[in-house]
Structure 1
């Protein structure tokens, strides 16, 4: 589903060069739920951004669905992101002036001609029902709790039925009870067929995934299969 081959990522300014990732070789299989852990600044979010085609490696190759994307034009990358990848962020990134339903519908607006207005609304409603927020469709983000905002963000990520979901600290801003609820939703999405890659600082959340990759100073230092704990 996702393959990173001999990846290196270097950030350069006029005075300094920072090696963010080095010698990354990682394959995420279809249907897998993979977590990424490591100390702050070790390259976790950079790795996720490369998988999500939000950034490009300095050297190496990224493949999505077996296809190298290194030579894709920006417009092709944008189309691939919109059709194949859903993003969940720690800070939700909801638009305060839009209703919950309108926020969820946003990714579909960029699919030129693929869905009509009524069908977009129906898909957004279905996504909100999946995360248990069908009774909050007309609310605005300021009227929601942190856990509800994250569920809206998940609905927005899945509304286009992407094959891949990338989650950057999805439980990081939530208390343990809300974090467990969000994690249960992600587990169900994975059980329904979504491939999920999640960055987390929480070992207990990582242990509820299939596989754990550890980073340190931009390098992979661990890659282990887990016995998934279905308990809360």
Structure 2
């Protein structure tokens, strides 16, 4: 499904060159639940951004469903991100001035989905994560765990094939972290391919496969 070959990512300024990823080779199969671990600054989020088509490698090839990503134009990449990939972030990235249901609808706005179906899909996604009783609330009225569930509902509202989760339990206590993992495992059981960055060994053990990075290099 996602194939990375000889991926290198270099960040350059006028005086400094930083090698963030070095010779990464990965194949993520459809339906897998994969975790990525490593110390801070080792390239985990950079790798996730490249797989999510948010960033380009300096060298190497990225293939999605057998097609080289480099062949796509910017508009095509934006469409792929919107239709095939759902993103979950550690710090939620909710819009405080929008209600819960309005936050969840955002990906559908970019698809020009009409208002009534859009709200129906958003409510269905919120029901899936156990927040159907909070649709009119605002983010400031929610706990951290509830905010993350809203973020998950937003990620899945368009029924993406791939979910990329960057430290989805990082800001939560262990009990709420386990609840979020239960939701992710349910989504994976229903067919979603999930790639999760985490610092938590216990969470990583609940996934199918663990990929370790150190200083931008894949550890065998």
Shorter chain as denominator, the TM-score bin is over 0.9
1:211 aligns to 2:195 (yes or no): no
Give how far 1:185 is off: 0.3
SS of aligned partner of 2:137: coil
1:170 aligns to 2:165 (yes or no): no
Following the alignment from structure 1 to structure 2, what is the Cα–Cα distance between the partners of residues 40 and 190? 26
Following the alignment from structure 2 to structure 1, what is the Cα–Cα distance between the partners of residues 185 and 114? 31
Give how far 1:72 is off: 1.7
SS of aligned partner of 1:213: strand
1:34-45 correspondence runs (5 A): 34-45=34-45
**RMSD of aligned Cα (Å):** 0.6
Q: Which runs of 4+ in 1 moved over 4 A?
A: none
Give ranges in structure 1 of 5+ residues lacking alignment.
223-232
Following the alignment from structure 1 to structure 2, what is the Cα–Cα distance between the partners of residues 61 and 169? 25
SS of aligned partner of 2:94: coil
Following the alignment from structure 2 to structure 1, what is the Cα–Cα distance between the partners of residues 133 and 139? 14
SS of aligned partner of 1:61: strand
Following the alignment from structure 1 to structure 2, what is the Cα–Cα distance between the partners of residues 182 and 144? 15
Give how far 1:71 is off: 2.8
Give how far 1:64 is off: 1.0
Aligned to 2:47: 47
SS of aligned partner of 1:93: coil
Aligned to 1:92: 92
Aligned to 2:24: 24
Give ranges in structure 2 of 5+ residues lacking alignment.
none
Following the alignment from structure 1 to structure 2, what is the Cα–Cα distance between the partners of residues 192 and 71? 31
Give how far 1:218 is off: 0.4
TM-score normalized with structure 2 length: 0.99
Tell me how many residue pairs correspond in the alignment: 220
